[in-house]
Chain A
Amino acid sequence: MRVSRRTLLASAAGSAAILKFGATGSWAQGAPIKVGILHSLSGTMAISETTLKDVMLMLIEEQNKKGGVLGRRLEAVVTDPASNWPLFAEKARELITRDRVSATFGCWTSVSRKSVLPVFKELNNILFYPVQYEGEESERNVFYTGAAPNQQAIPAVDYLMSKDGGEVKRWVLAGTDYVYPRTTNRILEAYLRSKGVAASDIMINYTPFGHSDWQTIVASIKTFGAAGKKTAVVSTINGDANVPFYKELGNQGVKATDIPVVAFSVGEEELAGIDTKPLLGHLAAWNYFQSVKNPDNEAFIKTWQAFTRNPKRVTNDPMEAHYIGFNMWVKAVEKAKTVDVDAVIDALPGIKQANLTGGISEMLPNHHITKPVMIGEVREDGQFDVVWQTAGLVPGDAWSKHLEGSKDLIGDWVGRKCGNWNTVTNRCGA
C-alpha cells in the first residue's frame, strides 16, 4: 500500500489532535479559547512588563481551575515584542491572524499602544490596556483599564491644594520627555491655571529616558521652592530615572515635609529594588495599593505569591487593572455566550467587576472604567500608606475637560458608536 505524503500528514495531524484532546479530556466542547499576551520580556520595558505577563498567566490558570469560560479551556499565547515599538504591531498581527486569539492583554507605553492600534482596528480584535495614560483617546477595539488623567493626575493635584496636602501654591511638573508626561502636564497646567495659579508659579521640566544626573535639576527645584510659597513636585518621571532622582533629592536634603514629590509612575514594583530611605514621606497617586486591607486583595496577593513561588513578590496598580480587565472580559464572554469579537465589544460596556480595594468598577461606554483614586505615602518597607482617598469611584474621562479642543468631546460606543463625539456640533469626529 502506498501512503501519499498528504494522507500521512493528515493522519499525523489527526493523531496529534487526539493526543491533545486526550490530554485535555475533561474539556467537553471545542478547542481552547486563545488569549494573547503582548508584553515585552526583554529590552528596556521588561522591568515593568514581565510582571504583567506573569499575572495574566496566573489569572488564566485560575480561570481554568474554575472551569474555563463557556466550558472551554483558556490558552495563553505569550509573545515578546522586546520593547521595540514597530515589533509590537508585527507581534499583534501574528497573534490575531496566526494564533487567532479572542482578545489580547498588553502594552505599557503609549507609543506601543499607538503602534498596535491600526492593527487591532484593521483586523477587528480586542486589546485590554492596563496602564495609566494621557487620555485623549477612545477606540472601539481598545478597553482602557488603567487610569485616565482625571483618575490620577487631577485628584493628586487637588489633594496637594487641600489643607492636608499642605496647601501647595507653587508647582514643579517634572517628567520624562515623551507623550504621556507631555500630555499629562499640558492638562495639569491648564487645570492649575484655571484654579488661579500664576504662570510664574509653574515650572515644567523634561528629561530624557533613563536620565541619571539629577544634580542641576534638583538644585533648580530647590531654588524654585525657595520663593516663600509651599512647593510640590508632580512627577511623571518614568521608571528607571526615578531612583537617581530620589537619591539626589535625599543627598541635597530636600525633605518630603518641605517639598513633597507626588509620582504617577512609581509603584510597589519600582520600589522593590531600591533603598527607600530617601523616599520616605514622598507620595504616589494610584488606584490601587498592595497595602489596602480587603479580603479580595489579600486573596489576590496570596495567589500571586504562591504562583510566583516568592513570598516577597509585590503587587501593583497595573496588575490590578489586568485583574479587573480580565474578569470583565470573562463576564462579557459569558454574557454574549460567544467569543465573537463584535458581540464581546458590545457586551463589555456596563459590565461590573469588584476591584481589589472594595469598590465595584464598571466598564463605561467610552471604554474606560470607574476607579477609586488614592494618595499613598512611601514607607520604609517599599509599601504605601494610604493618606487620602476619593469618596467614591471616579469615572474615567477619555477626553480631558481641561484642554481646548477636547473638552467638548466624549467617547460613546453604546448609543452613538463614536469615540470622539462632539457635544457642541453633535457630530462624530472633532
Chain B
Amino acid sequence: MQRSMAASVGMHRRSMKKASMAGFLAMLVLFAALLALPARAQSYDAAIDRFLSDSFPDTEAGIAALQAAGDPRGVAVLEALLDRRLFVVAASRTVLVRDRAGQTSDARTGQAVANAPDGAVMVRLNNRLRGLAQAALGAMTLLSPDPERRRLAAEAVFRSRDASALPAIDKALETENVPRVRAALREARAAILLADAQAPIAERIAAAAFIGEIGDQDGIGLLRQTLANAQGPLREAVEAAIKRAEFSQQLRRAGQTFWFGLSLGSVLLLAAIGLAITFGVMGVINMAHGEMVMIGAYVTFVVQDIIRTHAPHLFDWSLPIALPLAFVVTGLIGIAIERGIIRFLYGRPLETLLATFGVSLVLQQAVRTAFGPTNREVGAPSYMSGSFEFIGMQITYGRLWILVFTFAVFFLLLAVLKATALGLHMRAVTQNRRMAASMGIRTGFVDAMTFGLGSGIAGLAGVALSQIDNVSPNLGQSYIIDSFMVVVFGGVGNLWGTLVAAFTLGIANKVLEPFAGAVLGKILILILLILFIQKRPRGLFALKGRAVEQ
C-alpha cells in the first residue's frame, strides 16, 4: 500500500506536466457536466411549466420539451399524462403527478403532496397529442430495464418513425438480447430508415425487404406510404415487398376467416344446444328459449354485482360461480314453465308456440321491470379479455374460451344422454311414450327434467354470451331465430347434427360476409337454407326408424 502510493506519487511527479494537462481536461469535463446538470434540470422545469395552461398547443410543446430535456423524471410525467394522472393547479403554478398507487407528488420537486388541493385540473389530451406523447415516451424508454416497456417503446418508435430516435435504437440493439424486443427494435429501425428520405438508398431497400418479410398490416401501411414518392430501385424493392407482404396477409386472412367462422359457430351452437333438447328431443316449439339465455346472463350480472360490492378479489371467479347458479335458476324456471303450461299442451304445437311466445314476453317485461330497460354491465375477467397472436392471426381470449366451453357443454350433454339413467329415460320417453310408461318410467317427471335440462343449458349459454353481447332484456330475441335455424338445419333430434350445422352456418356466414356484407350475407344464408330444406326436409342428419313416424 505504502509502496504503491509512493510509486504513484513518484510517477505523478515524473509526469507532472502531462498529468496536470489531463487533470485540467478532466476538470473541464466535470465542470461542463456540472453546468449541464442544472441546464438539463432547467429545461425540465421549463417543459413542466408548459403544461400549466392546459391548452392543446402548449401541452404539445411541453411533450416535445420533455423529450428534448431527456430528464429521467420526464418518463413518469409522460406516463401520468397518458394515464390521466397529471394535474395542474393554476393558482400555485404547480404540476402534480399521481402515481399508480394513488400518491400525489410535485412534478418539479418530487415532494409528496398529502392531498390534491382544490382547483387541481387534469391535463386534457386528444388523440393526436396522445400519439405524440407515446412517441416521446418510446424514445425515452428504449433502454428501460423492463423488457415489456422496451418492446412498447420500440413499437411507439415504429409508429412515430422519428429519425432522431435512430441512434438510440442502434444503441439499444447492441445490448438487447430478448428476442421479441429485438424483433420490435429491428422493425422500428427499418421503419425509420424507410421513411427517412435522407437515409442511404441501399439501407432503405434492405429495410423495405425486411418489412415485406414480416408482412404485417402496419408494415403494409408503411410500405404503401413510401411507395407514393419512391423512385428507381427503391420503388421496385418496395413494390416487391408489398407483393410479398400481401401474399402472407392473404394467407392469414383466410386463416382468420376460418377462425371467425369457428367462433361464430360456437356461439350459435351454444345458443342452440338447449333448444336441441327442448325442441329437438321433446318436440316443444319453445319460443321462450332465448329468454332462458337472457336470464342466464342476468344471473351473471347479479353474481358480479355481489362480488363487486362484497369480495372484489374474487372477480376472476365470477364466471365459474355464475355457471352452476345460472343452470339451477333457469332450470327451475324451465321446470315451472313445463309443469305450469306446456304439459297441458303436448301434441298441440300451435298452441305451444303461442303460449311459449307469451311466456317470453312476460319474462322480458319482468326482467325489464326488475333490472330496468338499460344494458347492465358485465365485466370480463382477466383471462377473458385481450388477444394473442397465433401464426399472424389475432385470437381473442374471450372467443377462444367460449369455443372451449361450448365443446365442454356439448360433450357433457352427450354423456348425460348416453350414460346416465336420466338420459336413458329421456330417450325412452321421446321414442315411445306409452311403452316407456308401461315399463314404469314416470313420464311426467322425465318431461319436466328434460325441459329443465334444456333450459338450464340455455342459462349456461347466457353466462358465456354475457361476455360478448349486451346484457339487456332483448338479449334472447337476437338468438332465437338463429337457434331454430341451427336445430332445423342439423336435423331435429340429433345432437351431432346440431354441432355440424352450427359450425357450417358459422363458417359459411363468415366466408360470405366480406363479399356480401353483413346484411346480405345473412339473407343469402337464409335462402341457401330454404333451398336445402326443400331438398332434405329433415335436415342434415335425419332420424330414421319408428321415431320419425310419430
Contact = CB atoms under 8 A, between A and B. Distances in A.
B307 to A, nearest CB: 15
Contacts of B425: none
Contact of A243 (B130, B375, B522): B375
B124 interface: yes
B318 to A, nearest CB: 13
A23 to B, nearest CB: 29
B80 to A, nearest CB: 15
A164 B398 contact: no
Contacts of B368: 42, 46
B377 A274 contact: yes
A226 B220 contact: yes
Given A207-B519, A210-B474, A46 B373 contact: yes
A47 B538 CA distance: 39
Nearest to B245: A226
Interface stretch (B23-31, B38-46, B256-264): B256-264
B474 A240 contact: yes
A213 B260 CA distance: 9
Contact of A212 (B130, B398, B473, B478): B478
Nearest to A208: B519
Contacts of B222: 228
A166 B468 contact: no
Interface string A207-248: 110111101110110110111110000000000100110011
Contacts of B376: 273
A228 B223 contact: yes
Given A219-B260, A228-B225, A385 B124 contact: yes
B513 interface: yes
A257 B375 contact: no
Contact of A244 (B256, B377, B468, B514): B468
Interface in B213-263: 217-218, 220-228, 249, 253, 256-257, 260, 263
B134 A226 contact: no
Contacts of A226: 217-218, 220-221, 224
A385 to B, nearest CB: 6
Interface in B510-547: 510, 513-514, 517-519, 522
A354 interface: no
Contacts of B223: 228
B84 A379 contact: yes
B177 interface: no
A217 B518 contact: yes
A215 B469 CA distance: 13
A243 B470 contact: yes
B386 interface: yes
A206 B519 contact: yes
Contacts of B519: 177, 206-208
A220 B394 contact: no
A251 B474 contact: no
A359 interface: no
Chain B contact residues, majority secondary structure: helix
Contact of A269 (B217, B374, B470): B374
Interface residues of B, number: 62
B518 A211 contact: yes
A275 B470 CA distance: 11
A244 B469 contact: yes
A227 B510 CA distance: 23
B155 to A, nearest CB: 11
Given A42-B365, A252-B396, A220 B221 contact: no
B469 A47 contact: no
A250 B467 CA distance: 13
B322 to A, nearest CB: 16
A283 B502 CA distance: 36
B111 to A, nearest CB: 28
B352 to A, nearest CB: 24
B374 A47 contact: yes
Nearest to B124: A385
A77 interface: no
B56 A164 contact: yes
Given A211-B518, A251-B396, A225 B221 contact: yes
A26 to B, nearest CB: 35
Interface in B4-53: none
B474 A208 contact: no
Contacts of B420: none
The winner among A164, A165, A205 for most chain B CB atoms within 10 A is A164
Contact of A273 (B221, B226, B377, B399): B377
Q: Interface centre among A216, A227, A380, by most B CB within 10 Å?
A: A216
Choose among A211, A219, A256 the residue with the greatest number of B CB atoms under 10 Å from its CB: A219
Nearest to A215: B260
Interface of B: 56, 84, 124, 126-128, 130-131, 134, 159, 217-218, 220-228, 249, 253, 256-257, 260, 263-264, 267, 365, 368, 372-377, 379-380, 385-387, 394, 396, 398-399, 468-474, 477-478, 510, 513-514, 517-519, 522
9 contacts: A165-B126, A206-B518, A208-B522, A213-B260, A216-B518, A243-B375, A251-B399, A252-B387, A274-B377
Given A50-B372, A228-B221, 11 more contacts: A44-B474, A47-B375, A208-B518, A223-B217, A240-B474, A244-B470, A251-B399, A253-B394, A274-B377, A275-B380, A377-B126
Interface of A: 41-42, 44, 46-47, 50, 163-166, 177, 205-208, 210-213, 215-217, 219-220, 222-223, 225-229, 240, 243-244, 247-248, 250-253, 256-258, 260, 269-270, 272-275, 281, 283, 377, 379-380, 385, 387-388
